[in-house]
Structure 1
Amino acid sequence: MQTQTCLHVWAPFDYRYDFHKWLIVHIIINVYVVAHGCGILGIFDVVFYIIVFHLIGHIKVLKYKIKTQFEGDLDDEEVKKRLVNVIKYHAFIIKFFKDVEAAFGINVSGNYLNNLIADSLMLYNLMIIAQDKGTVIIFVVMTTVCITELILMSFILEEVRIQSDDLPELIYFMPWENWSLNNKKMLVLILLRIQPELAFVAAGGLRAGVRPMTSIIKSTFSYYVMLKSSMRE
């Protein structure tokens, strides 16, 4: 029986029909190269997810400040100071969010494009090689990993928008009725600044989140069904 490896490499001996030689090549070369390749490809996504979770944490901190810092009897000067603090913190979050968009926008768009093309091709290969069970398992794992990565990235980016959605409501329900006119004007300005939602816009104007993920998955399975139907005919 002929053995298989993830990568076909040249060796001074034939390892395809010798299990012991195949084991040496597979462990020393294939596992090492594939593990490092996956690590290099995945490190950008891991760093991106860490930064996005950090951003979500900042949004939650801002919401906590809005909820708790204006309770009790505060004079106008103290209210003004805390409103300025909210403005500065929100400005920091917006700048941070824009920096993340600029740094990872191409990576996010590339991931969506890769899933749109690669998932369809892998399902097509599954349809072609349906008789070879060993290869089918490999493609099933690859397809599952790619789609899972797409879903994970989309839900993480959608969480940023969800967390920022209720910020205007929190601002509006602050106890502003007894504030001075200047503080009320400042509150209106904060409310205007905080209205736009934090939706991640990747390179090319792609609005990342659950909606493009759903479209990609629908398109992938639509292509698969169409190709399968055409091959039967």
Structure 2
Amino acid sequence: MGHFFSDGSDLIGVQRVLDIRHRSKFAMLTHIKVHKASQFFTMYLNTMVLIGILLFNITPIYKNISSGAFANYKTENVSFEHSVYFELPFDYKHNIKGYLVIFIFDWYMSFVCSSCFSNFDLLMSLMVFHICGHLLILIDSLKNFRKPTKIVVNNIEYEWYSEEEMKLVSRDLRNITIHHNLIVEFIEKVSKTFGPILYLYYMFHIINGCVLLLECSQMSAEALARYGTLTFVVFQQLIQISIVFELLGISSDKLMNAVYSVPWESMDNPNRKKVYIILMRSQRSLAIKAVDMVDVGVQTMALIIRTSLSYFIMLRTFA
């Protein structure tokens, strides 16, 4: 943050901003809400992963039990069902030893793949929750900015900051600038670090959504049991993280409106210039972008779902 204040005293302001929860009662309440929301979301997402893994892998087990494959595994006429099939040099569809190897491997890969996507969703969601918490605290600081003193000149009442109040106003505006800068820099780092991953993540949802819809279009009990729940979970995951990212855009709009509520007309010129700088910076969108091109949010989510449906209809027609 040294490029904002050349005297080096900005480090004290940064430390004060980082300890944001003790700034006010609202800041502490927001800190607690973000903490509880993060805890609930973590438990919810891990529960969804566990349910998804169980439903995806239990269906083949049920079919093997129903067909009597486990009871007659010593004969050569049995055929074992798996959640995922591979092209391997040994027989795992009719041999019990090969079945056990692939059975364990399928559970392991289901856990690894589900954890990779769910942990990415969880990491991004938690970061957005904390960013929104900081934005709410910043908005509250702007809305509850210290009020000027009322003075009477020639029987006309004015609102104006005194000389001592001007120093406090300058300090408050400086802290708000530092806080807003920290938020903007963090969002830029998140976009730069996770932008390519978000792009691949959305491409995965386009392709995977199309394939899952094609599998479910068979409308058989087996296809719906195996792929129906998985399709619901995948689309729910896409909608969920898109809504979470949309919170940034909503908070960004509230920030712009909050800057206008600052009583700049009662300040001297140096402080008015600081308010003007904050106002100009608040006009910039705080949305996280995939590879600096695509805004991550509800509109992109709707576009992905429409694209998946279009490809699904095309493949269905060819089939």
Q: Same fold judged by TM-score > 0.5?
A: yes
- Residue 260 of structure 2 is aligned to residue 172 of structure 1: yes
What pairs with 1:193-212 in structure 2 (closer than 5 Å)? 193-203=281-291, 205-212=293-300
Aligned 8 A contact 2:246 2:296 in 1: yes
Aligned 8 A contact 1:109 1:204 in 2: no
> Could you give the per-residue CA deviations for residues 172-217 of structure 1, whole angstroms, max 9, x where no partner exists?
1112222112211211111111111212211161221111111111
Q: Which residue of 1 aligns with 2:125?
A: 49
> Could you give the per-residue CA deviations for residues 86-129 of structure 1, whole angstroms, max 9, x where no partner exists?
000000000111111112111211111111111112212233x4
Change (3 A) 1:27 1:64: farther
* 2:215 aligned residue (96, 114, 125): 125
- Residue 204 of structure 2 is aligned to residue 114 of structure 1: yes
TM-score of the two chains, using structure 1 as the length reference? 0.84
* 1:85 aligned residue (175, 195, 198): 175
Deviates more, 1:222-231 or 1:80-89: 222-231
The two structures, once aligned, show a CA RMSD in angstroms of 2.8
3-state SS in 1 of match to 2:289: coil
AA aligned opposite 2:231: T
Bigger Rg, which one = 2
Deviates more, 1:39-48 or 1:210-219: 39-48
Give % identity.
25
- Residue 111 of structure 2 is aligned to residue 35 of structure 1: yes
Aligned 8 A contact 1:150 1:213 in 2: yes
Aligned 8 A contact 1:4 1:16 in 2: no
Which is richer in strand? Answer: 2
- Residue 192 of structure 2 is aligned to residue 102 of structure 1: yes
Deviates more, 1:140-149 or 1:77-86: 140-149
Counterpart-to-counterpart distance in 2, 1:224 and 1:28:
32
Aligned 8 A contact 2:82 2:103 in 1: no
Change (3 A) 1:180 1:72: closer
Change (3 A) 1:48 1:14: closer
- Residue 83 of structure 2 is aligned to residue 6 of structure 1: yes
The structure whose RCO (Cα within 8 Å, separation 6+) is larger is 1
Aligned 8 A contact 1:126 1:140 in 2: yes
- Residue 225 of structure 2 is aligned to residue 137 of structure 1: yes
Counterpart-to-counterpart distance in 2, 1:14 and 1:119:
29
> Could you give the per-residue CA deviations for residues 138-185 of structure 1, whole angstroms, max 9, x where no partner exists?
222222121111111111111111111121221111122221122112
Q: Which residue of 1 aligns with 2:27?
A: none
TM-score of the two chains, using structure 2 as the length reference? 0.63
Counterpart-to-counterpart distance in 2, 1:54 and 1:26:
41
Q: Which residue of 1 aligns with 2:141?
A: 65
Aligned 8 A contact 1:101 1:202 in 2: yes
Aligned 8 A contact 2:199 2:291 in 1: yes
* 1:187 aligned residue (275, 292, 297): 275
3-state SS in 1 of match to 2:303: helix
How far is the alpha carbon of 1:27 from its aligned partner? 7.3
AA aligned opposite 1:163: S
AA aligned opposite 2:219: A
AA aligned opposite 1:105: G
Change (3 A) 1:72 1:113: same
How many pairs align? 227
